[in-house]
Structure 1
Amino acid sequence: MKTQVVIIGGGPSGLLLSQLLDKNGIDSIVLERRTKAHVLGRIRAGILEVGLVNLLREAGVADRLDREAFLHEGTILSFEDMQFGISFKEHTDTPVTVYGQTEVTRDLYAARAAAGGKIEFTTENVTLHDARSDAPYVTYTVDGEDRRIDCDFIAGCDGFHGVSRTSIPEDVRREYEKIYPFGWLGILSETPPVSDELIYACSSRGFALCSMRNAHLSRYYIQCDLDDQVENWSDDAFWSELKRRIPREAADRLLTGPSIEKSIAPLRSFVCEPMQWGRLFLCGDAAHIVPPTGAKGLNTAASDVHYLHRALTAYYRSGDETGLAGYSEKALARVWKAERFSWWMTSLLHRFPDQTPFDLKMQQAEIEFLRSNREAQSVLAQNYVGLPY
């Protein structure tokens, strides 16, 4: 087989890149190691920056989003029972959009199917060849059959555990990582949200987040130990602990119910430099990971897709290689800003096992400064709704 761009990874970033390339007359084939059902079964975040929403509109896949999504014009932060709101509208005149990542992926799969896009599922032994040459190719296996795709470029959208990043030689790539000493225990429940806006809560018992997917589907998280197990948490135990960590006024109106999904996610910050090697370009989690505090994961992948699809479009339209040559530098400049914001939000709101009484006082003072300072709130709002591409 032959195509212009091989995209490794059939999650939202790979699908969005494929859809945008197709809109510009560029052929691609997507390789996904899991089944479609498995990809659609992943429960992920649902806060979309305006840049991602605009990309989905550009790709022609935002009709259902525009009908069903919720717009959030602010968020709530709390410290014990003290809480305050930060208005995105006041500081940026820009909302964020609440629409589940699973739904984004579902819409993208539907669009690729409607366009006749080529997606290979359950691929194994994916190997990248000659990425530094003008004629790269990818080999893989499906149902025991060995296959090969010749291409012009390879886009690695296959996540932290994929093959794309590790295909860059160790003496070329440099990796930066911070592992946080806690995880997030999250549940999904068919209950109305406790608040119209997200609540980020810092308490002496640890962090908590009240989020939602729609008017009847809520997503809640609490900070937990890294070695904790889902089996240790009954629904009743989760709800009781959540109520202890959020402001009393919110706890009193919280409606609880059976969980329909429950999982623990570790937190890490990670960046790989560079994000390109020859004709291989990394996107999303293949190159960088952020803790979920601040909702930057999918949104940062979207900015990569923005830069890469424009660079590829310029190359195929006019032979202009400027965007391709500068992709890593441009993408990383925004990535590190998103990493900083996610690290800051995580440090601001969580309890760390080695915190001293002084550290706790500094954390409390930082939150109080944010509550009382308009300029500090503006900085948070600008970062939360999404820095420009």
Structure 2
Amino acid sequence: MAETAGELGEASESTTVVVIGAGPAGLTVGNLLRRSGVDCVVLERQTRDHVAQRQRAGIVETRAVRMFDAWGLADRVLGGVPSEGILEFRVDGESHLVSDGDGSEGLGARICPQQVLVQKLTDTFLADGGDLRFEAADISLNDLTGERPTVRYRTADGGLRSISCAFVAGCDGDHGISRTAVPDGVLTAHAFDHDIGWLTVLADAPPPTYPLLAISEQGFAAHFPRGPYTSRYYLQCPPDDDPEAWSDERVWDALRTRLGDPVLGSGPITDREIFRLRSLVHDPMQYGRLFLVGDAAHIVSPMGGKGMNLALYDADVFARAVADFVRDGDESALRGYSERCLRRVWNDQEFSHWLTRTVHDAGDDSRCGPFERNLARARLDRLFTSPAAARSFAELMTGMD
């Protein structure tokens, strides 16, 4: 990219796509565009170390694994270990193992913490000659409805730069600048508050044999692997609870009670926070030449592990649409981007909502009452006893079209 002197002393460049955000969505977009021969620049406001250490999702679902494999990237970007495809539900201490295998052939889900995926996506993008710029401050998106939008930002040393592009991929999450660049009234926000809080705890403690969801009259709890020696735990709590009220002793006592495991191994707690379960969808996912990808467009309740995987789906759809345009001048996939992605978004929102309600309503009936509790228990019993219900659950868990 040749640089020219722009207005206000800016250094000006041009590219095909500017990607805002270097999380899983942005880095996947960047890597897929590179594989398609499409030039792009990825801008990230944080440092590389900060991005590489963000602890989030831990499962790359079957559909996403096969997507990376189709692009020839699975071996390079997926760390962790293959999932055994088993999810354990523990209801009042009684274990029920449910498979997420849908009978299809090919690679399956991968247990891969977000920070591992991000580090590998970063290494791959840079090794393939990608242009990734950290500490990009004061990013602004301009002329999004014109033929050539301009992205302006300030470098770490204070220099001003502007990049002219054909498209902008907004991959900077729910609180990023991409969605706020869309004028009021253009997007419709569909929001839902589950009125449920989770205390999330990261600890240097042995992971479970299988990802575990536990239901009891004391409330919901979960135990997930985050590496060979690290675990992520979740405890249902009031959404406005104070994490400082949860001492280490209280955390481990609650986990042993709710998980039905009085000898649960403990370890140093390295992080704890409380967050409110919520769901949000913005429609459409496009404004002019700006395309919203991942959390910038939608937030999903964490039940079912759909948030990061939806972002990877969006990234795949967007990269293929841009490649069609650059290669053949075909804009049909770009025009259909929002509709196609939102079909998947609402499907996964429904599954996540169903699972959220089921595992929380089936526990302490002071939250919803005995009628809803018994309905949720009936849904769980059907899942454990009906092969048809188990197959439907597996299909939704794998994320296959």
TM-score, normalised via structure 2 length: 0.90
Task: Report the equivalent of 1:109.
Answer: 122
Gaps of 5+ in 2: 1-12
Deviations 1:30-86 (A, max 9, x none): 111211111122111111112222333355543366674132222111221233111
Is it true that 1:78 corresponds to 2:90 in the alignment? yes
What is the alpha-carbon distance in structure 2 between the residues aligned to residue 254 and residue 183 of structure 1? 23
Is it true that 1:183 corresponds to 2:193 in the alignment? no
Is it true that 1:281 corresponds to 2:295 in the alignment? no
Gaps of 5+ in 1: none
What is the alpha-carbon distance in structure 2 between the residues aligned to residue 209 and residue 95 of structure 1? 22
User: What residue identity is the alignment partner of 1:82?
Assistant: E
Which of 171, 194, 199 lines up with 1:157 in the alignment? Answer: 171
2:102 and 2:395 in contact (8 A); partners too: no
Task: Report the equivalent of 1:348.
Answer: 358
User: What residue identity is the alignment partner of 2:134?
Assistant: F
TM-score, normalised via structure 1 length: 0.93
User: What residue identity is the alignment partner of 2:232?
Assistant: R
SS at match of 2:257: helix
User: What residue identity is the alignment partner of 1:30?
Assistant: V
SS at match of 1:89: coil
Is it true that 1:139 corresponds to 2:152 in the alignment? yes
What is the alpha-carbon distance in structure 2 between the residues aligned to residue 12 and residue 330 of structure 1? 20
SS at match of 2:101: helix
What is the alpha-carbon distance in structure 2 between the residues aligned to residue 137 and residue 184 of structure 1? 40
What is the alpha-carbon distance in structure 2 between the residues aligned to residue 362 and residue 54 of structure 1? 36
User: What residue identity is the alignment partner of 1:158?
Assistant: D
Which of 248, 265, 281 lines up with 1:271 in the alignment? Answer: 281
What is the alpha-carbon distance in structure 2 between the residues aligned to residue 68 and residue 376 of structure 1? 30
Q: 1:1-389 residue pairs with structure 2 within 5 A? A: 1-63=13-75, 68-89=80-101, 95-143=108-156, 144-194=158-208, 196-246=209-259, 248=260, 251-351=261-361, 354-388=367-401
Report the Cα offset of residue 138 of structure 1: 1.1
What is the alpha-carbon distance in structure 2 between the residues aligned to residue 216 and residue 287 of structure 1? 34
Report the Cα offset of residue 163 of structure 1: 1.6
1:19 and 1:59 in contact (8 A); partners too: no
Deviates more, 1:98-107 or 1:367-376: 367-376
User: What residue identity is the alignment partner of 2:95?
Assistant: Q
Report the Cα offset of residue 383 of structure 1: 0.6
Residue identity (%): 38
User: What residue identity is the alignment partner of 1:15?
Assistant: L
CA 1:30 to 1:66, structure 2 compared with 1: closer, same or farther past 3 Å? Answer: closer
Report the Cα offset of residue 170 of structure 1: 2.1
CA 1:164 to 1:75, structure 2 compared with 1: closer, same or farther past 3 Å? Answer: same
Deviates more, 1:285-294 or 1:144-153: 144-153
What is the alpha-carbon distance in structure 1 between the residues aligned to residue 76 and residue 267 of structure 2? 28
What is the alpha-carbon distance in structure 2 between the residues aligned to residue 65 and residue 314 of structure 1? 24
What is the alpha-carbon distance in structure 2 between the residues aligned to residue 170 and residue 183 of structure 1? 30
Task: Report the equivalent of 2:9.
Answer: none
Deviations 1:251-275 (A, max 9, x none): 1452111112222232111000001
Report the Cα offset of residue 237 of structure 1: 1.4
What is the alpha-carbon distance in structure 2 between the residues aligned to residue 7 and residue 319 of structure 1? 21
What is the alpha-carbon distance in structure 1 between the residues aligned to residue 79 and residue 30 of structure 2? 24
SS at match of 2:384: helix
2:256 and 2:263 in contact (8 A); partners too: no
Deviates more, 1:114-123 or 1:54-63: 54-63
Deviations 1:171-191 (A, max 9, x none): 221010112222222222222
User: What residue identity is the alignment partner of 1:239?
Assistant: W
2:79 and 2:116 in contact (8 A); partners too: no
What is the alpha-carbon distance in structure 2 between the residues aligned to residue 192 and residue 174 of structure 1? 44
2:77 and 2:124 in contact (8 A); partners too: no
What is the alpha-carbon distance in structure 2 between the residues aligned to residue 242 and residue 63 of structure 1? 36
Deviations 1:156-210 (A, max 9, x none): 001001121222222221010112222222222222223x211111221211111
User: What residue identity is the alignment partner of 1:335?
Assistant: V
What is the alpha-carbon distance in structure 1 between the residues aligned to residue 312 and residue 93 of structure 2? 36
What is the alpha-carbon distance in structure 1 between the residues aligned to residue 102 and residue 185 of structure 2? 47
User: What residue identity is the alignment partner of 2:207?
Assistant: P
Deviates more, 1:378-387 or 1:83-92: 83-92
Deviates more, 1:371-380 or 1:351-360: 351-360
User: What residue identity is the alignment partner of 1:234?
Assistant: S
Deviations 1:78-107 (A, max 9, x none): 221233111223655674211111100000
Deviations 1:98-121 (A, max 9, x none): 111110000011112212322222
2:303 and 2:355 in contact (8 A); partners too: yes
CA 1:267 to 1:66, structure 2 compared with 1: closer, same or farther past 3 Å? Answer: closer
What is the alpha-carbon distance in structure 2 between the residues aligned to residue 253 and residue 385 of structure 1? 32
